[in-house]
Amino acid sequence: MKLASLKGPTRDGTLLLVNSGLTRAVNTDGIAPTMQYLLEHWEESHAKLLDAAESLECGNERHAFDFQAALAQGAIDAPLPRAYEWLDGSAYLTHVERVRRARNDKVPESYYTDPLMYQGGAGSMMGARDPIRAKSEDWGIDLEGEVVAITGDVAMGATPAEASAAVRLITLVNDVSFRKLIPAELAKGFGFVNGKGANALAPVAVTPDELGQAWDAGKVSYRLVTHINGKWFGNPNAGDDATFSLFDLIAHAARTRELKAGTMIGTGTISNKDPATGYACIMEARVVEQVEQGEPKTPFLKYGDTVKIEMFDHQGDTIFGAIEQKVVPYP
Amino acid sequence: MKLASLKGPTRDGTLLLVNSGLTRAVNTDGIAPTMQYLLEHWEESHAKLLDAAESLECGNERHAFDFQAALAQGAIDAPLPRAYEWLDGSAYLTHVERVRRARNDKVPESYYTDPLMYQGGAGSMMGARDPIRAKSEDWGIDLEGEVVAITGDVAMGATPAEASAAVRLITLVNDVSFRKLIPAELAKGFGFVNGKGANALAPVAVTPDELGQAWDAGKVSYRLVTHINGKWFGNPNAGDDATFSLFDLIAHAARTRELKAGTMIGTGTISNKDPATGYACIMEARVVEQVEQGEPKTPFLKYGDTVKIEMFDHQGDTIFGAIEQKVVPYP
């Protein structure tokens, strides 16, 4: 099942069912008005939505409309337009190793058993075609391409196995970061506030069964393809080199608190050991350039720059649709 | 105007108007169903609520019920039962100074101009009478008594003056902390995830005008009175020794992002230079004991312990009602 949200009439948007080819969508009125409602009423709503999804797939939904046209018109919100909890892990330690190597530092041993994770803000997610807005190009505007799990309710102290049963949907995120603000902020010791901007989700979120065999023990074994200004930037495989699965990350987040339906858990920037797979964030490219070429070459994003982040199945079809954003000045 | 939320029927609760003496409450059906709705529709709803509040104050609301009885029955939720953003500052540097002194460390100069702040989770706030639940007494369970501002929409880059216009409501929070998990977590550099539990708000949140002269340039000049197991623990004045006002903290949080209606901004643990005013968290008492008596004396909270946090006006009347919680094992 593939799900999206139309913008409005409330800040929670309007839940949509989308067909597997992402060409047609239909309002789920009468089943679940919003994604947040669905996540809180999954058991009751899921079977009815499956029936409606089957009708849509067969072309039998009379009220279906052109999803791609709605997307192009800017009418599509993030599948979950706002989330109460956004907890972002660092599953790909290659990313952490490269960043640390550039400052002659090592990854602490504990990082391989105790996930690094921060709590971010998700009170206003961007839709996949919404612009990245910043008040200054000097912030060091960067993308971070990641996989995200959206959960149902999770009990405090849930094990990774228990966490696995709570995964409702998978999608992609562009976790926007302001690199030049981060060193001073992290030095204060309390994590990120100014260093992270609003984030965008892919146009659709999908139930794990849509990923078939590629959904493997809490990892998604497909490549995340990123382009910057139309130029290939990387295609690391999200199933490779992940020290922690999404199940591990959910369990870590739930160690001392209940997670409520609609919690979003991120993998952290996807990164493979194989340098041929490129990058899913600019900072990592820059630290590798620093080590190998003596100075960083890839600039951070400027106004007018575009980023495109997507993931394809083995047939080459887009799974979640593309995050395609342009950087603009905040008005 | 004083506002609260009844638990249910949805996770957002049901908005209540409460009279100034906190004895009677009435459902605001037809004006604003939930606190989150009100915060998103403040301009339209505010005048109607003021009329209803006047009727309630005069005893003219036929459907009003006994607020204290509802509170005692556990029927009252946090005024905002869940929030999309919870950003907690450190306005009281006395607190930070004491903690650092205990480890022979100083407060960096920058802390006096650049607020320390972390992003916490608020997807499931506790009502003022809900128990603090933990899976282990060994986590070092602690309270933190603070003042909280709940905002309307705030633009990215808002100044403190602009932020002041966005303050909708003021209340108190018990920011529950698990002290023994914090050093290792902060050492990882990404802030708090496991080190902070769910938080409780006071029974009611009030519009700033309810504070009269005590609402002074983004600070609340009243004492926060804390008792642990019925024993006086502290009464620092929230208007004294605050390096940053709530306006400053909102502006800091909004530096690189929009804050959306329903954002909660905390002052951090209230602490005065005058040692006679005691404490609003156990850790601070312990670090002072460490320095002055060679070892910490005040134990962290154990199952069965109770905490009470409240604030009184100059007539000795409770403003927000008391946060009164018992520590219990998570089932």
pLDDT tens-digit series, residues B16-42: 999 999 999 999 988 999 999 999 999
Q: What is the pLDDT of residue B86?
A: 98
- Say yes or no: B51 and B163 in one domain: no
> Which one of A257, A264, A330 would you mutate to disrupt binding with B, by most B Cβ within 10 Å of its Cβ?
A257
Q: Are A191 and B191 within 8 A, CB to CB?
A: yes
CB spacing of B116 vs A181 below 8 angstroms: no
CB-facing half-sphere around the CA of B110: CA atoms within 13 A: 8
Residues A43 and A101 in one domain: no
Total structural domains within chain B: 2
Nearest to A121 among B188, B197, B257 (CB): B257
Query: Whole domain around residue B216: which residue ranges?
Result: 80-329
Query: Do residues A54 and A203 both lie within one domain?
Result: no
Q: Are residues B213 and B312 in the same domain?
A: yes
Do both A114 and A65 map to the same domain? no
Give the C-alpha separation, B83 to A50, whole Å.
Answer: 31
Q: Please, what are the averages of pLDDT over each run of 10 residues along chain A (331 residues)? A: 98 98 94 98 95 93 95 98 97 90 82 95 97 98 98 98 98 97 92 96 98 97 98 98 98 98 98 97 96 96 98 97 98 91
What pLDDT is recorded for position A106? 83
> Which whole-number Å values give the CA distances from A134 to A329, B75, B84, B115, in the listed order?
5, 43, 21, 21
Query: Quick check: B171 and B86 in contact, CB under 8 A?
Result: no
- pLDDT at residue B102, as a whole number: 76
Residues of chain B contacting residue A262, judged by C-beta atoms under 8 Å apart: 123
**Are B91 and B10 part of one and the same domain?**
no
- What CATH code is carried by the domain that includes residue B305? 3.90.850.10
Helices (H), B135-240: 160-165, 182-187
Task: Inform me whether the C-beta atom of residue A16 falls under 8 Å from chain B C-beta atoms.
Answer: no
Q: What is the pLDDT of residue B105?
A: 82
Contact A119 B330 (CB under 8 A): no
Q: Using DSSP, state whether A213 is helix, strand or coil.
A: helix
Distance CA A236, CA A81 (A): 27
B186 contact residues in A (CB cutoff 8 A):
189-190
Residue A212's CB is within 10 A of a number of other CB atoms, namely 11
CA B286 to chain centre: 22
- Contact B132/B176 with Cβ under 8 angstroms? yes
Domain shared by A51 and A153, yes or no: no
Residues B47 and B170 in one domain: no
Instruction: Give B292-330 pLDDT, tens digit per residue.
Output: 999 999 999 999 999 999 999 999 999 999 999 999 999
> Are residue A24 and residue A139 in the same domain, yes or no?
no
Please give the pLDDT value at position B109.
87
Record the tokens describing residue A244, joined without a space: 């922690």
pLDDT of residue A104: 80
Residues of A in contact with B114 (CB under 8 A): 184, 188
Strand, coil or helix: B115: coil
CB contact under 8 A, B116 and A190: yes
pLDDT for residue B177: 97
Contact A66, A53 (CB under 8 A): no
Pairing state between β B323-329 and B132-134: parallel
B199 within 8 A of B175, measured Cβ to Cβ: yes
Whether the Cβ atoms of residue B115 and residue B87 lie closer than 8 Å to each other:
no
A150 and A66 part of one domain: no
Domain final residue, candidates A44, A59, A76: A76
Q: What is the ipTM of this complex?
A: 0.96
Which residue type occupies A201? L
Quick one: pLDDT at residue A101? 82
Q: Do B86 and B68 sit in the same domain of this protein?
A: no
Assess whether B64 and B192 both reside in one domain.
no
Residue B325 makes CB contacts below 8 A (sequence gap 6+) with B126, B128, B129, B130, B131, B132, B174, B200, B306, B307
pLDDT of residue B99: 82
pLDDT tens, per residue, chain B with 331 residues? 999 999 999 999 999 999 999 999 999 988 999 999 999 999 999 999 999 999 999 988 889 999 999 999 999 999 999 999 999 999 999 988 998 887 788 888 888 999 999 999 999 999 999 999 999 999 999 999 999 999 999 999 999 999 999 999 999 999 999 999 999 999 998 999 999 999 999 999 999 999 999 999 999 999 999 999 999 999 999 999 999 999 999 999 999 999 999 999 999 999 999 999 999 999 999 999 999 999 999 999 999 999 999 999 999 999 999 999 999 999 9
Residue ending a domain, choose from A37, A53, A76: A76
pLDDT of residue B55: 94
